[in-house]
Structure 1
Amino acid sequence: MNFNNILFETENGITTITINRPNKLNALNIETIEELHNAFKKAEKDKETKVIIVTGSGEKAFVAGADISEFANFSVEEGKQLALKGQTILFDFVENLAKPVIAAVNGFALGGGLELAMACHFRVASDNAKMGLPEVSLGVIPGYGGTQRLPQLIGKGRAMELIMTASMIDATQALNYGLVNHVTTQEELLPLCEKLATKIANNSLVAISTAIKAINANYKDGVNGFHTEIKGFGTCFGTDDFTEGTTAFLQKRKANFPGK
């Protein structure tokens, strides 16, 4: 599968997807969103891939936002369809992916960039990272899930302030808010993400996939997350990973999970 705007690499069970539009600060255009969907779908189906890292090329930006030139003249209906399709094929898709996705946030993560990072299962930032949802300064609101995921991650009041002021926060503030899990130097960003990915990959990916589904259920209207957890917990008892994990524990050895 060939891509124009992203790089795709798999090594040691970790697939790294790099948004590669440095001359546009990796801004998300329609083509890039579709390519990202295909890349994530490919990684999810790939038996070798256990964890996915997504990042941006260059030193300036993870993703500096959406490509405004593409939708500046859109009608109301075209705007709705832009948000609907984007949420469906990328942002919601990533959030509900069966395999863990880590966002390695280097530099600017603004607008659609921050929304992509928030759709990932957790985030690690470089110390030069700047994050924000500046859409109201353009006369529009975040359309790729920002009004929903930001309050979930940092609380309603902080999200209201950040969105209404169109302000940026730095990596330290993002860490204090709980928006990112770790902050490191730009040089150590990918190595740290790879270290975390390797630690994740040593565990049962079947159980991790079930945990992702249960955690996400808590944030869906009309879904009882506790019921999802109970069902998922029970399902795990029928997996080969559960048999291997418990047997290894009782035999006092390291588990070698078959992934099924």
Structure 2
Amino acid sequence: MAVLVGRRALIQAFRVHTADRDSACRIAAATACTRQYVLSGKATTRGYSSDSKDDLRVRYLDGEDSGIVVVGINRPKAKNAISKNLVKMMFDTLEDIKKNNKVRSVIICSLVPGIFCAGADLKERVKMHQSEVGPFVSKARALITELCNLPVPTIAAIDGAALGGGLEMALACDIRISSNNAKMGLVETKLAIIPGAGGTQRLPRVISVSLAKELIFAARVVDGTEACRLGLVNHSVEQNESGDAAYLRALELSREINPQGPIAVRMAKLAINQGIEVRLPARHFPLRVCFPVIPTKDRLEGLAAFKEKRRPHFKGE
């Protein structure tokens, strides 16, 4: 039987997010309920807690996986719904990642079985004063934009339901991988509202305008298999016993990205993101994005490695 007792073979440990990056590799403090999970053959313990400090856990992987950052949402009682505290913690995390040139890819996932993110925390929203709602919605929207604008590749590992703002968060990532039984949908019209964090713009770009309209108008929820057929996710994988199939596939993909020239990957993302907004032909745009790559040490290392028939060792310089 596969390594069990817990749904995820997620990272060795997650830390509670703090400003101190040296604590990035510490195991998060033990909490109320624990599950065991494994990565690279090492069993560790994952904690679930109602403490708001545990709403987000961030792990900077090391060894051969150095450069991969795993951001785990951990609000089991609220189905990972987007709260004020979660928005703040994610903003802080993204700011740290932007400042760290050693980061090569980011995986956004859930530490809660069967859920990715259920959207906005409506229970918290009900308790807000009317004057608080607007600023919070604006802040949440800005968070999704910040995620989209991260300079490194981002992968959403969807091992459970991603609804409303949860799917908008996934749509802001460069790549989406889901389990075949995950549920996804922009369901806001059921509440007589519309997707407010970019879903009406990003979903049509990911699938098509007419399909996006159909899904949004009908508040339709699709599973991972259908999402892959539509092009909503890049890959749909069969869920495993520990419930972390999408995460494991995302980790494999991050490991494919890791050896590539980090500056080139960042520039490629910039070129793609900005290029889809440019009418063709835009002859000078590719040149403007390519120029920063030419004088790098990594480019020379890539040429030398090709000539010497060896694996290149890129340093992001």
TM-score by length of 2: 0.76
Work out whether 1:237 is the aligned partner of 2:302: no
Count how many residue pairs are aligned between Structure 1 and Structure 2: 258
TM-aligned CA deviation for residue 49 of structure 1: 2.8
Q: For structure 1, which segment, 123-132 or 43-52, has the greater mean C-alpha deviation from structure 2 after superposition?
A: 43-52
Larger Rg: 2
Q: Kindly provide the amino acid, as one letter, of the partner of residue 228 in structure 1.
A: F
CA change 1:129–1:241 in 2 (3 A) is same
Partner of 1:4: 54
1:143 is paired with a residue of what secondary structure?
A: coil
Match of 1:20 among 52, 55, 74: 74
Partner of 1:108: 161
TM-aligned CA deviation for residue 105 of structure 1: 0.5
Q: Kindly provide the amino acid, as one letter, of the partner of residue 207 in structure 1.
A: A
TM-aligned CA deviation for residue 130 of structure 1: 0.4
Alignment map for 1:15-164 (pairs within 5 Å): 15-72=69-126, 75=130, 80-88=134-142, 90-164=143-217
CA change 1:130–1:91 in 2 (3 A) is same
In structure 1, stretches of 5+ residues that fail to align are none
CA change 1:61–1:92 in 2 (3 A) is same
- Given that 2:159 and 2:244 are in contact with CA atoms closer than 8 Å, whether structure 1 keeps it comes out as no
Match of 1:178 among 217, 225, 231: 231
* Cα distance between partner residues in 1 of 2:282 and 2:314: 26
* Cα distance between partner residues in 1 of 2:292 and 2:119: 40
Partner of 2:303: 246
Deviations along 1:192-224, whole A, 9 cap, x unmatched?
211110110100110111111111113448998
Partner of 2:268: 211
Q: Kindly provide the amino acid, as one letter, of the partner of residue 138 in structure 1.
A: L
1:71 is paired with a residue of what secondary structure?
A: helix
- Given that 1:217 and 1:224 are in contact with CA atoms closer than 8 Å, whether structure 2 keeps it comes out as no
Q: Kindly provide the amino acid, as one letter, of the partner of residue 16 in structure 1.
A: V
Deviations along 1:145-203, whole A, 9 cap, x unmatched?
00000000010011001111111011011101111111112343222211110110100
Root-mean-square deviation (Å):
2.2
* Cα distance between partner residues in 1 of 2:254 and 2:54: 26
- Given that 2:181 and 2:225 are in contact with CA atoms closer than 8 Å, whether structure 1 keeps it comes out as no
- Given that 1:91 and 1:144 are in contact with CA atoms closer than 8 Å, whether structure 2 keeps it comes out as yes
Q: For structure 1, which segment, 66-75 or 221-230, has the greater mean C-alpha deviation from structure 2 after superposition?
A: 221-230
Q: For structure 1, which segment, 6-15 or 117-126, has the greater mean C-alpha deviation from structure 2 after superposition?
A: 6-15
TM-aligned CA deviation for residue 86 of structure 1: 2.0
* Cα distance between partner residues in 1 of 2:278 and 2:219: 28
2:107 is paired with a residue of what secondary structure?
A: strand
Q: For structure 1, which segment, 3-12 or 216-225, has the greater mean C-alpha deviation from structure 2 after superposition?
A: 216-225
* Cα distance between partner residues in 2 of 1:225 and 1:125: 35
- Given that 1:218 and 1:224 are in contact with CA atoms closer than 8 Å, whether structure 2 keeps it comes out as no
* Cα distance between partner residues in 1 of 2:72 and 2:173: 14
CA change 1:83–1:197 in 2 (3 A) is same
Give % identity: 34
Q: Kindly provide the amino acid, as one letter, of the partner of residue 263 in structure 2.
A: V
* Cα distance between partner residues in 2 of 1:187 and 1:84: 32
TM-aligned CA deviation for residue 70 of structure 1: 3.2
* Cα distance between partner residues in 2 of 1:15 and 1:145: 24
CA change 1:151–1:80 in 2 (3 A) is farther
Work out whether 1:190 is the aligned partner of 2:247: yes
In structure 2, stretches of 5+ residues that fail to align are 1-16, 19-52
* Cα distance between partner residues in 2 of 1:50 and 1:107: 25
* Cα distance between partner residues in 1 of 2:309 and 2:257: 20
Q: For structure 1, which segment, 38-47 or 93-102, has the greater mean C-alpha deviation from structure 2 after superposition?
A: 38-47
